[in-house]
Structure 1
């Protein structure tokens, strides 16, 4: 009897210990990430890590509708020029300090401050004043109605008590950020990994995955190899690598439609394009986009002709610049260009030609630059592809492979990207008619008026193009089959960034 009792007690103790070990087991997701020099959502738009560390007053749900986040709700005046936000009570920063309306006012004013040089500043340029009524109420006053305002209030809010008086470009805070988000920074091994741990005090649903490691891998091929070796649980891959993973059947391949396009950005501050900007329509006809889509992307995407092609305000009747070598040749001749003895187009006795830069490590952009350079060579243009080891020199380059595109309002990635002297206008593009149409598009809530404004924008923009568009690309994420919860139909962000939008719903099997 004694032996049975002792055996029963031993088994019970073993079960208790095992149960405790299971309860104490932790889950760690390893994600193949690009590199970060800082984490600064106020100054830099792109950074998928932002959504894990920070929150905005608003957010987007899986249907791309604006929903509350740090705000519980809001009121909008009849004329659309006053927005009153009521904030959630009891929200704390990762250091335990309370989140208040002062943090909201501080963040948006920092973005608006021209001395800070934020590329996001155009999103908030209509604001004339921000009033803090109390800790949980903040009021924005606008000089003109801006129907995109709630979309832009998804902007991450930053802590005033840690950043007041700091340089928003150089502050140490942006290498050790503190937010209100579902994850908080645990460690940053520069150039190697950024480790996040879940925030147990998060005001919304607490994440299931305990730790997420952003493993820094700047080369697409290396990401694919580390997925295959099991060193990564999740990474975005190129179409060519995706085909390999699909064949193996040992991975989950999520092929997601995006609003993310690629094309050639021309640097209009460069003397070459100051003189030759009028050649761009002819160049556009000389690019075979179907060839780019099928050769580089293996058909995973769509031919591009407009920056809002995948928006409700797309105008299908705009000039598509379909591949037409004869039309390209006619336009070159009409502009006074002549071919030399070797078949290259010349203007004023000089060959027409330029260099297309591509981001190192981004094999899709590198392949696009190489292929399009070859196409333009065949069309008689002295064009070269180049991958600068030091990265893109925005000020001095002639051209580069650009990536933009937004799944949100049509104002996003148009007004600040193509508007004269706006924060994200890296091409230096300027067109007074484009400016007027984009301004009209953001200042009216009337759908027919907005549709007319964006139709006119697209028509004028096609006449005087800033870019040569190639393709809209799919975002292809390969994951460990033990990772669950990724929405295969929704990427709420730019450049494929945005897969973490519902990270608190993810689980990772041991």
Structure 2
């Protein structure tokens, strides 16, 4: 009897292979989740099933097949399987970039797992998978304790040693099954904010999130596609939730847009360039707030002309608001606990800009070159027109990459949720301080801000940091670029159920 049922299962599985990802949602049994089982079922060393057996009960097998097929049809109707057999009922998301299992973007890993620590709306780190943490007096040793009763998606209990976290100049140890200890070379009070990426079981794609990976497809060592199903036990209350989705990876925007237009995907996530697809019937676009990078014009403070801060301030102040965007006063988001709300809004004040330009003694007759990428060419044109109103000669140059030498550079730069912007502005950070900015006072504020764990003292340092940065104007801060999502309208309701998971990280 077992042999016959096994053969029937193999036949049905072959017949329904096209719909396997949907079936996995409802039939969470080994022969639907392990591709090698087909061979096992036909291996006579393990099942004892021979070709002669197939011939002997072929007629009886057909009867079992018909009966089981009818049962499956009834079960499908009962479980409301219908929507899952329509292509657009399952979300197929196109993600741009080439990744391995070790560097998947947070927009993907956030579907699979949870982080140890999360930021609240003001940028304070809060316990998530940990119950809390302890830190020594000089902020060089942090000990985090996992919450009780945590389980991986494979059903095993979470041990601290299952979680592999690699950070530069940090020694990681596991004092016991629920504790992780981090020893730092130097004091670093923002450290908990470095643990806000979702964690996976060491060497796997197994997490603790809402969805789990049931199939991983690779091409040339890179992940080409991930098939996910809900990690939630199906119940009447849960059937309205998303039960299956696929993530497909494309090396560049052109390939991803082509795949979307051909129907290979019904969601495009993180597109930078403007495309004509949004004008197609049934295609919609949404732009979601994001605070992990900033669009700014970085001035080369070593340039003979722009080394004069009055020149830089004139250029910065003259820039008007960009249509559809909220112009920034400084580089820290207004939602941050360390934001300086006393900074005056002087953006677009042409008269004030001219007063600063009057203080410039040399260089006003020279041409200022603004370099940007194709993505921000339209913004660059707005800036150039504003600078020309000051009577300056200005040239806009659009390049595909970031040049080593420039006067003014319009690009995005990543920023942390914590107000610690040491990498962007400290004079020792030659690779990331692209303005070449050098201020002893700024250096001191940034150094002190990351050494003390006292929140009030940290805020005091960052308030001063913002005041000095605004006065020195090594950059003109424009806005926080939004995350662009393009999708087919028919999956809008389902998409809205997963986007909050993918965009929740500050």
Residues 407 and 424 of structure 1, relative CA distance in 2, 3 Å threshold: closer
Which residue pairs with 1:336 in the alignment?
A: 361
Which residue pairs with 1:441 in the alignment?
A: 449
Unaligned ranges ≥5, structure 1: 1-8, 113-126, 163-176, 339-344, 493-497, 503-510
Taking the aligned partners of 1:447 and 1:16, their CA distance within structure 2 comes to 60
TM-score, normalised relative to structure 2: 0.65
Deviation of 1:152 (Å): 1.5
* Other structure's SS at 1:334 match: coil
The answer to whether the 8 Å contact 1:58/1:154 transfers is: yes
Residues 191 and 420 of structure 1, relative CA distance in 2, 3 Å threshold: farther
Taking the aligned partners of 1:450 and 1:32, their CA distance within structure 2 comes to 41
307-316 or 58-67, which deviates more: 58-67
The answer to whether the 8 Å contact 2:120/2:126 transfers is: yes
What is the RMSD computed on CA atoms of the aligned residues? 4.9
Aligned residues, how many?
A: 421
The correspondence of residues 79-90 of structure 1 with structure 2, limited to 5 A, is 79=137, 81=139, 82-87=141-146
Taking the aligned partners of 1:368 and 1:253, their CA distance within structure 2 comes to 20
Residues 252 and 354 of structure 1, relative CA distance in 2, 3 Å threshold: closer
Deviation of 1:501 (Å): 6.2
Residues 91 and 266 of structure 1, relative CA distance in 2, 3 Å threshold: farther
Residues 360-405 of structure 1: CA deviation (Å, up to 9, x unaligned) = 4x3xx1211233223323433333333324x223x33444322246
Which residue pairs with 1:323 in the alignment?
A: 348
TM-score, normalised relative to structure 1: 0.64
Deviation of 1:101 (Å): 4.8
Does structure 1 residue 76 correspond to structure 2 residue 134? yes
The answer to whether the 8 Å contact 1:131/1:138 transfers is: yes
The answer to whether the 8 Å contact 1:39/1:50 transfers is: no
Does structure 1 residue 307 correspond to structure 2 residue 365? no
The correspondence of residues 368-447 of structure 1 with structure 2, limited to 5 A, is 368-389=379-400, 391-393=401-403, 395-404=404-413, 408-411=417-420, 414-422=421-429, 424-447=432-455
The answer to whether the 8 Å contact 1:256/1:491 transfers is: no
The correspondence of residues 34-53 of structure 1 with structure 2, limited to 5 A, is 34-36=96-98, 41=103, 48-49=107-108, 51=110
Taking the aligned partners of 1:132 and 1:322, their CA distance within structure 2 comes to 51
Does structure 1 residue 452 correspond to structure 2 residue 451? no
Taking the aligned partners of 1:302 and 1:224, their CA distance within structure 2 comes to 32
Residues 152 and 376 of structure 1, relative CA distance in 2, 3 Å threshold: same
Unaligned ranges ≥5, structure 2: 1-64, 233-237
Residues 3-56 of structure 1: CA deviation (Å, up to 9, x unaligned) = xxxxxx979853524636949969753334333376765xx9x76445457764
Residues 122-178 of structure 1: CA deviation (Å, up to 9, x unaligned) = xxxxx6x54432454322245776443222112466888x7xxxxxxxxxxxxxx96
The answer to whether the 8 Å contact 1:256/1:488 transfers is: no
Deviation of 1:452 (Å): 2.3
Question: Larger Rg: 1 or 2?
Answer: 2
